[in-house]
Amino acid sequence: MLSRPEDDISSLEKARKRLYEQGVSSPASRPLARSKERSLPHAWEENPLQNIPHPGKRHVRLASIFLIIAFIFFIISLGATGYFLYYGGNSVSVDKIAVDIQGPTTIAGGDTVPLSLAITNKNPVAIENATIEIDFPNGTLSANGTLTPDPRYVENIGTIASGATVTRSIKAIIFGGQGQALLLPVSFSYGTSGSSTTFVKKSSYPLAISSTPLSVSVDALSETVSGKPLTFTLTVRSNATIPLNNVVLANAFPFGFTETSSSLPLVGSEISLGTMQPGAVKTVTITGTLTGQDGELRVFHFSVGTAKSPSDQTLAISYMTQDAPVTIAAPFITTTLALNGNTGPNLVITPGNHQSVIVSYANTLATSVTDATISIALSGSAIDYNSIQTTSGFYNSADHTIIFSKDTDPSLAQMAPEASGVGAFTFATLPSTTLILAPTITFTISVSGTRVGQTNVPENVTASVSQNVKVATVATLIASALHSSGPLSNDGPIPPRAGQATTYTIEWNAQDNGSTIAGGTVSATLPSYVSYTGKTSGTGSFSYDSTSRTVSWDIGDLVQGASAQGAFQVSIIPSTSQQGSVPMLTSPATFSGYDRFAGVQVNATADPSTTETIGDPGYVSSNATVQ
């Protein structure tokens, strides 16, 4: 068996005692004894470890104690850090800010939208410089009665104490197209005392537009003949509860369409409708020609909304778009209307005159057309309906229609392929003194007949086209000379004498007897013996070109029935060669302007002004003769 240490004193302790004990010498070293051969004990033998004496108390080392203390300190520090991060004075989090918005989620475009805003601070400390921002869509107006653009709501709320709730009521007039989904971005920012950090919490509020503030409907033919007039009647309605400014109707015309006329000015592709009151309705007609191949489908797009600015009429917001598909079909009977020999798309006639109309027609089908009928319905404010006459057709005064059929032309009973014919009638336009603003005449040509279809079964076919004709404005110009009367003071001998100067007032009077005339001007030249004094009176402005000796009077615009009067002074020194004659003071005066409705130039002339002053009181013809 193994030897047991004496008194539990280790060999190391015994060696230390012998080392420091006086008079004791170290024993001689002995060679290590060979260990005896060991053999594994049998299972039934006594466990040799049972005889090993149990060691005494183990000494806890200093390093182990240090490690235990350090681990405990780490756990305590970790817990303290988590506590202060979550519960301490610096635990400010955007997750503890509640921004709640209450209001409708579905609105009608153009209505006032009320929103209730509640902001709650769940942080353990107060927040400062709290600011709420809500971005509204373009076109949003203020609901405070001013109707000013208000696309953004910003308010600095200030300080919100811990646990406090701040509420705000916000109203805005929001627009949008029908079915449009809107998302209002909401941003809430704040800071804390003693920190320069700005916290931001973002959210959004959804809105759906159930109806549009502006609507547009289109009335037009779904099928037209290539090259024939095509008219669109557009009705714009305001469904808003407030007035809408800068309303614009935008038109997207397909390839092959050429606009010939519009009831309101068409600038580019936009038509300005101005301000529309709640419930207001405005109607616009656009006429043009569409060219293309048989069977082609063209789609017209009409959008209504508000413009970017009064000077920029392009759409800033489009509330509704209406499509109008039109199919181009080959005509089975072509018709051509010639007014006074003209067949163009933009025909203009004069008031108070007789007009001649010839309608030609032809069968374009490969089969015959039986019982063909061509009718022309006349309408408009410029026609004298009592003057309509026809020699080859029948005039129905009940509906103002001229009819060409087999009753008036036997050849229409059966029109062979490529067969043609003509019809004629006349009418007179009313005089300019009885015309209303923007006088027009509309010819609606309808054709009908029976043809053999692709299934060899007779079928009825019809088609109709319209053509508008405008009546031009008539302007009148009167020129006269005055000496003892008129707006300017004159001097010199009457009758005029050779070698002596006499001044006269030349008075011009221009009158508009129809639609508005833009840029009206009157001009005349002065003879070499007449000089321009520079004295003027009346509306507009006068100018004189000494090189061409031309006096010009710029009137400006003349509305229907309006007149303008202007006067200027000239001086004449007659020559002895003019004695016994009545000298001319100006050449014939000419008026020129632009008829905005008819789109044509308007002209008028007046007789030359002479020394005859018929308008002067007590005038006698001998006063005009040079002495």
Model pLDDT for residues 520-547, shown as the tens digit of each residue: 999 999 999 999 999 999 999 999 999 9
* pLDDT tens figures, 52-103: 455 544 455 677 787 788 888 788 877 655 555 455 445 688 888 999 999 8
Give the chain's mean pLDDT.
84
Same domain, 232 and 160: no
Same domain, 270 and 176: no
Q: Is the pLDDT of residue 226 over 80?
A: no
In CATH, what number is assigned to the domain containing residue 357?
Answer: 2.60.40.1530
Cβ(337)–Cβ(424) below 8 Å: no
Which SS3 state, helix, strand or coil, does residue 159 take?
strand
Whether residue 33 is contained in a domain is answered as no
Number of domains in the chain: 4
Same domain, 413 and 369: yes
Higher-confidence residue of 33 and 588: namely 588
Q: Which pair of tokens denotes residue 210?
A: 């159930």
Instruction: Round to whole Å and give the CA distance between 124 and 86.
Output: 10
Higher-confidence residue of 30 and 323: namely 323
Quick one: DSSP state of residue 51? G
* pLDDT tens figures, 342-387: 887 788 988 888 999 999 988 887 778 889 999 999 998 889 999 9
Same domain, 571 and 497: yes
In CATH, what number is assigned to the domain containing residue 510?
Answer: 2.60.40.1170
Same domain, 310 and 370: no
How would you label 474-496 residue by residue, b for 16+ Cβ within 10 Å and e otherwise?
bbebebbbbbeebbbebeeebbb
Least confident interval from 9-23, 289-303, 445-459: 9-23
Residue for token digits 């001044």? 503
Torsion of CA 60, 64, 68, 70, to 10 degrees: 140
Tell me which of 456, 471, 486 is where a domain ends: 471
Q: Give phi and psi for 410, each to the nearest 5.
A: -60, -25
Same domain, 348 and 219: no
Residue for token digits 């004498």? 497
Q: Is the pLDDT of residue 456 over 60?
A: no
Instruction: Round to whole Å and give the CA distance between 473 and 513.
Output: 6
Amino acid at 36: K
Residues 6+ apart with CB under 8 A from 493: 500, 502, 627
Tell me which of 314, 329, 344 is where a domain ends: 329
In CATH, what number is assigned to the domain containing residue 160?
Answer: 2.60.40.10
Same domain, 387 and 466: yes
How would you label 308-337 residue by residue, b for 16+ Cβ within 10 Å and e otherwise?
eeeeebebebbbbeeebebebbebbbbbeb
Whole-prediction pTM: 0.46
Instruction: For residue 104, name the pLDDT band (cuts at 50, 70, 90).
Output: confident
**396: containing domain:** 333-471
Instruction: Round to whole Å and give the CA distance between 152 and 190.
Output: 19
Instruction: For residue 105, name the pLDDT band (cuts at 50, 70, 90).
Output: confident
Residues 6+ apart with CB under 8 A from 578: 498, 529, 626
Whether residue 63 is contained in a domain is answered as no
Instruction: Round to whole Å and give the CA distance between 443 and 310.
Output: 37
Torsional sign, CA 13, 19, 20, 25: positive
Rg (alpha carbons) of the chain, rounded to whole number = 52
Half-sphere exposure for 431 (CA within 13 Å, toward CB): 2
Torsion of CA 163, 169, 174, 180, to 10 degrees: 40
Cα separations in angstroms, 333 against 225, 378, 456, 461: 10, 20, 19, 10
Nearest to 238 by CA among 275, 283, 279, 284: 279
Q: Residue 501's pLDDT is what?
A: 95
Whether residue 364 is contained in a domain is answered as yes
Whether residue 204 is contained in a domain is answered as yes
Instruction: Round to whole Å and give the CA distance between 59 and 155.
Output: 73
Whether residue 220 is contained in a domain is answered as yes
Instruction: Round to whole Å and give the CA distance between 161 and 156.
Output: 15
* pLDDT tens figures, 29-52: 455 444 444 444 544 444 544 554
Same domain, 250 and 344: no
Instruction: Round to whole Å and give the CA distance between 406 and 414.
Output: 9
Q: Is the pLDDT of residue 436 over 80?
A: no
Same domain, 339 and 219: no
Whether residue 47 is contained in a domain is answered as no
Cβ(449)–Cβ(369) below 8 Å: yes
Q: Is the pLDDT of residue 311 over 90?
A: no
Residue for token digits 């080959």? 330
Nearest to 224 by CA among 301, 326, 297, 360: 326
Cβ(243)–Cβ(147) below 8 Å: yes
Same domain, 453 and 491: no
Same domain, 248 and 377: no
Q: Residue 57's pLDDT is what?
A: 47
Q: Which pair of tokens denotes residue 374?
A: 């061509």
Same domain, 422 and 534: no
Whether residue 72 is contained in a domain is answered as no
Torsion of CA 614, 620, 625, 627, to 10 degrees: -140
Tell me which of 452, 471, 490 is where a domain ends: 471
Whether residue 369 is contained in a domain is answered as yes
Cβ(125)–Cβ(89) below 8 Å: yes
Residues 6+ apart with CB under 8 A from 462: 446, 447, 448
The distance of Cα 583 from the centroid of its chain, to the nearest Å, equals 60
Nearest to 138 by CA among 302, 322, 310, 305: 305
* pLDDT tens figures, 398-426: 999 999 999 988 989 998 888 888 999 99
